[in-house]
Amino acid sequence: MSKQNPKDRLYSREHEWVVYYEDGTATIGITDYAQEMLTDIVFVDLPEIGRKVVKKATVAVVESVKSVSDVFAPVSGEVIDVNTALEETPELINQDAFGEGWIVRMRLSNPEELDMLLAAADYDEMLKEEKH
Amino acid sequence: MKKTPLYEKHVALNAKIIDFGGWAMPVQYTNVIDEHRTTRSAAGLFDICHMGEIEVKGPQALDLLQLVLTRNLADQATGQVKLSALLNEEGGVIDDLTVYKMDENSYLLVTNATPRERDWQWIKAIRDAEKFDCDLKDISDNTGKLDLQGPRSEEILQKLTEADLKTMRFYHFCKSHVAGFPAIISRSGYTGEDGFEIYAESNVIGEIWDKVMAAGVPLGMKPAGLGARDTLRLEGGMMLNGQDMDESVSPLEVPYSWIVDAHKEFIGSAALRAKQNSGIRKKLVGLEMTGRGIARHGYKVFFKTQEIGVVTSGTFSPTLNKAIGLAFINIDFSAPDTQIEVAIRDTMAMAKIVKLPFYKRSK
């Protein structure tokens, strides 16, 4: 069973999460449901710091033994930090998708895009439907 | 999608089911790495009911097989298994299959799942055209198959059979019983480990599965899916038909020269000789990533800036903890330790050519 989706953040329909800070930056990762679907993550392809991405563009790639999956930027902006711990221990995403397994930090170019994302309760609902 | 007799058992075990060549098969029960490592350290149990089985019986059974298969079977003993290839006229690989000599004038062919109908039609057409006196019977739908693989396989299976497994040699088999049901027990597999392939009637294979689970789980065995089967076979340097080779590939270009007998005539032998004389241009090799990333099927391979080939299989190796793969490359660059690059998305990642297999079990 996946862990509870924390209420302190927003969610995309593609299973990314966003924690937004007042200084205009955000931390981004994939949800526990997503890591459960991927199972054993063995490689994370991280972007270069400074790369500008638009919403829904690929910002990182997560690979399990069997699969290669894009992580889509849930918002537009510039990559200001990446979780380099994932280079040596990609399984951090499996162990703690909402915490130690974060993927990138971004400075948002259009914070209004956050309004398009889902609250935890709405994401919960979406998952319920997806499992049916 | 077609289902094996064990489908409901996989669902009950919460397996993730995928479409494998039209078959609903379990790709994993827990996760691939765990099932892979469990098979290497204890044992894994695989549902292989989707593979094909063809009986060849009659006075000219051997004559037919000698004509359609690359391997010389004249010296095959009853109770022995031989890997061989089925080629088309151009020398391309239709299938790689195992030949079981059941008795004089009686053989069982075990085919891959995807080309199984193609194999059947091909062999039947040649039997008819050459008027060989032998019967062919596709018993795939009535035959179930389990692979029990890993160092504890013998200990587990011995609890369920009167056959003396200790004395059974690799690539040999016997007709016996498993859990009281008639079965063929073959010491062979597709993982690079010791282990057994078990054949029985499809209507009892579910009960055999349950009995092997009951005997094996207390000894550390787990059910394992096609995901682990793929990483295990790749570490063992074994190819996957339809992915690493197809009918455009000859056995001389992949590590299969050893199953081609140059001293006999078979369908495709003339084409192979012509190919040998004009020079083999490409070769399937092992590669190991030295840079970051995982090579995957279809990724291009470069030497400096020259494109020299393509990756056919690639994964993260759970035993070696690094990314490995197979690639078809220009033969001029195929020597072990050649530094190459694999195009992974928008970057070039360093890799090197290595000898196969990647993993060899300690005896």
Expressed as residue numbers, the domain containing A104 is 10-111
Q: How many CA atoms lie within 13 A of B95 on its CB side?
A: 23
B14 → chain A, closest CA residue = A1
Residue B148: how many other CB atoms lie within 10 Å: 27
CATH number of B281-354: 2.40.30.110
Question: Does residue A47 lie within any of the structural domains?
Answer: yes
Question: Does residue A36 lie within any of the structural domains?
Answer: yes
CB distance B28–A61 less than 8 Å? no
Task: Report ipTM (2 d.p.).
Answer: 0.90
Question: Does residue A129 lie within any of the structural domains?
Answer: no
* Domain boundaries along the sequence of chain B: 2-49+141-235, 281-354
Give residue A132's pLDDT: 65
Which residue, chain included where needed, has tokens 């003993």? Answer: B77
CATH architecture of B2-49+141-235: 2-Layer Sandwich (3.30)
**Per-window interface: A 53-82 vs B, CB < 8 A:** 61, 63-66, 68
Reading chain B (363 residues) residue by residue, the pLDDT tens digits are 999 999 999 999 999 999 999 999 999 999 999 999 999 999 999 999 999 999 999 999 999 999 999 999 999 999 999 999 999 999 999 999 999 999 999 999 999 999 999 999 999 999 999 999 999 999 999 999 999 999 999 999 999 999 999 999 999 999 999 999 999 999 999 999 999 999 999 999 999 999 999 999 999 999 999 999 999 999 999 999 999 999 999 999 999 999 999 899 999 999 999 999 999 999 999 999 999 999 999 999 999 999 999 999 999 999 999 999 999 999 999 999 999 999 999 899 999 999 999 999 987
**Which CATH number is A66's domain given?**
2.40.50.100
Pick the closest to residue B53 from B134, B110, B99 (CA basis): B110
A62-121 pLDDT per residue, tens: 999 989 999 999 999 999 999 999 999 999 999 999 999 999 999 999 999 999 999 999
What angle separates helix B226-235 from helix B32-41, to the nearest 10 degrees?
60
CB distance A43–B27 less than 8 Å? no
Nearest to A43 among B36, B231, B294 (CB): B294
Q: Which residues of A touch B321 (CB under 8 A)?
A: none
Question: Does residue A80 lie within any of the structural domains?
Answer: yes
CA distance B86 to B65: 9
* B124-to-A53, B82, B120 alpha-carbon distances in Å: 58, 21, 6
pTM summary value: 0.95
CB distance B316–A42 less than 8 Å? yes
Question: Does residue A55 lie within any of the structural domains?
Answer: yes
Domain count, chain A: 1
Question: Does residue A121 lie within any of the structural domains?
Answer: no
